[in-house]
Structure 1
Amino acid sequence: MKKLTGIACLIALATTAVSAFGATDRSKLDERLNSAQAVVHEIMATPDKGIPQSILAGASCVVVIPSFKKGAFVVGAQYGQGVATCRTPRGWSAPVFVQLAGGSFGFQIGGQATDLVLVAMNQNGLQDMLKNKFKIGGDAAASAGPVGRNAQAGTDWKLNAEFLTYSRSKGLFAGIDLDGTVLSQNQDDTRTFYGADVPFDTVLKGDKVTPTDARPFVHTVAKYFIISKDNQ
Structure 2
Amino acid sequence: MAPLAPLVSLLSLFHRAPKYPAYVTITTEQQAPCRIHADNMPYSVHSFAANNKLNVSCWAASTMQDNKGRLNDNEGSFTYLWVNTNGSFGPPAFLSYPGVGNADQGGKARGEGCWLHEDSVKEGADVDFTEALEWCGEAPHHQIGAPGTYNAAFVCRNCTDLTNATCQTEYPTQEYGYVDVGCWKRGSEVKGNTTWVQMVNPGTANCYISPDQFDPKEWHGKWILGRRGRCAS
Normalising by the smaller structure, the TM-score range is under 0.3
Query: Normalising by the residue count of structure 2, what TM-score does the alignment of the two structures yield?
Result: 0.25
Task: Select the structure of larger CA radius of gyration.
Answer: 2
Asked which structure has the greater RCO (Cα within 8 Å, sep 6+), the reply is 1
Structure ranking higher in strand proportion: 1
Query: Normalising by the residue count of structure 1, what TM-score does the alignment of the two structures yield?
Result: 0.26
